[in-house]
């Protein structure tokens, strides 16, 4: 009985904290290759109502796993000038589950300014978990710590929705490549291959 009362009290306190939290604004999620088993980078654009101190975290909850070994990296930048910000290039990434990730960049974030956060999947095994026509909602919070007693500064439990499309058929598909690796004589062979393969993928999926 005491345990039930304690859990009820904790849930009540959490609900109070959430009711006092500010709002996170956002718009359409940018996905590099929004296709099942190809979606690797998610670009989240947001604006805070309250400041986030340098010791705080951006908590992002995904509807599908981006993996934990290793965890997805984060890149924070100002939308005003696209300049990367933060003392920690990839953020201090912690994962409390395969769906929830915390990022700390060691800088204060001001309210009423637009920021971008690129979350990049690093665990290739997580790509296999992506299913065709998957639809899900991303949640975003700014918090003081990584525990159940954290202060929630701002939140949006329905930050943005996204959809992963099916892989297009390739049977009978022909692609005429209008580039030559000789266009990059100063590049190494591996670099030319990397650039060429990215070009082919973009032509395949019309990106």
In terms of domains, do 53 and 129 share one?
Answer: yes
pTM for the model: 0.73
Is 60 found in the same domain as 131? yes
149 lies in the same domain as 189 = no
Q: Are residues 120 and 172 in the same domain?
A: no
CATH number at residue 46: 2.60.40
pLDDT in tens, 41-58: 999 999 999 999 999 999
Query: What are the C-alpha distances in Å from 66 to residues 69, 99, 137, 161, 199?
Result: 9, 7, 14, 16, 25
Do residue 117 and residue 128 come from a single domain? yes
What pLDDT, on a 0 to 100 scale, did the predictor assign at position 19? Answer: 54
Please report, in angstroms and rounded to a whole number, the separation of the first and last CA atoms in the chain. Answer: 57
Same domain, 60 and 31: yes
10 within a domain of the structure (yes/no)? no
Domain check: are 151 and 207 in the same one?
no
Say which residues have a Cβ less than 8 Å from residue 73's Cβ, sequence separation at least 6: 90, 91, 93, 119, 120, 122
The enclosing H or E element of 97 equals: strand 94-97
- 15: in domain: no
For 139-184, write each residue's pLDDT tens digit.
Answer: 999 999 999 899 999 999 999 999 999 877 655 444 454 545 454 4
Give domain status of residue 123, yes or no.
yes
- Count of alpha carbons within 13 angstroms of residue 95, beta-carbon side: 17
Same-domain pairing of 160 and 113? yes
Beta-strand runs (E) in 129-180: 134-143, 152-164
Q: Which residue has the higher pLDDT, 202 or 129?
A: 129
Tell me, yes or no, whether 154 and 202 share the same domain: no
Overall number of domains in the chain:
2
Closest CA to 37 of 120, 128, 119, 122: 128
Residues 93-133 pLDDT 10s: 899 988 999 999 999 999 999 999 999 999 999 999 999 99
CB burial readout 196-205, b (16+ within 10 A) else e: eeeeeeeebe
Evaluate whether residue 11 is within a structural domain. no
Asked if residue 119 and residue 149 are part of one domain, the reply reads yes
Number of Cβ within a 10 Å radius of residue 52:
22
Q: Which domain holds residue 195?
A: 168-207
Of 192 and 41, the structure prediction assigns the larger pLDDT to 41
Q: Is residue 55 part of a domain?
A: yes
Residue 197, pLDDT > 90, answer no
- Work out the pLDDT band at 91, boundaries 50, 70, 90: confident
120 and 34 co-located in one domain: yes
Give the confidence band of 20 by pLDDT, cuts at 50, 70, 90.
confident
Q: Would residue 139 count as lying in a domain?
A: yes
In which residue are the tokens 């304690």 written? Answer: 6
Instruction: Clarify whether residues 118 and 38 are in a common domain.
Output: yes
Residue 82 has pLDDT above 80, yes or no: yes
- Collapsing DSSP states into helix, strand and coil, what is residue 171? coil
Question: At residue 6, does pLDDT exceed 60?
Answer: no
pLDDT at 169: 65
pLDDT given for residue 153 in this prediction? 98
């Amino acid at each position: 009985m005491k345990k039930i009362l304690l859990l009820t009290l904790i849930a009540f306190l959490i609900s109070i904290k959430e009711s006092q939290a500010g709002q996170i604004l956002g718009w359409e999620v940018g996905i590099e290759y929004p296709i099942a088993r190809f979606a690797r980078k998610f670009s989240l654009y947001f604006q805070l109502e309250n400041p986030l101190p340098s010791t705080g975290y951006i908590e992002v909850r995904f509807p599908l796993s981006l993996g934990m070994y290793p965890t997805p990296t984060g890149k924070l930048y100002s939308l005003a000038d696209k300049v990367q910000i933060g003392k920690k290039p990839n953020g201090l990434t912690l994962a409390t589950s395969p769906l929830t990730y915390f990022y700390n960049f060691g800088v204060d974030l001001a309210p009423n300014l637009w920021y971008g956060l690129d979350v990049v999947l690093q665990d290739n095994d997580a790509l296999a978990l992506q299913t065709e026509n998957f639809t899900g909602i991303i949640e975003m919070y700014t918090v003081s710590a990584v525990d159940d007693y954290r202060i929630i500064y701002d939140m949006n439990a329905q930050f943005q929705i996204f959809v992963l499309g099916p892989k297009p058929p390739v049977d009978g598909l022909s692609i005429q490549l209008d580039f030559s690796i000789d266009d990059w004589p100063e590049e190494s062979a591996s670099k030319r291959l990397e650039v060429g393969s990215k070009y082919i993928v973009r032509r395949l999926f019309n990106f």
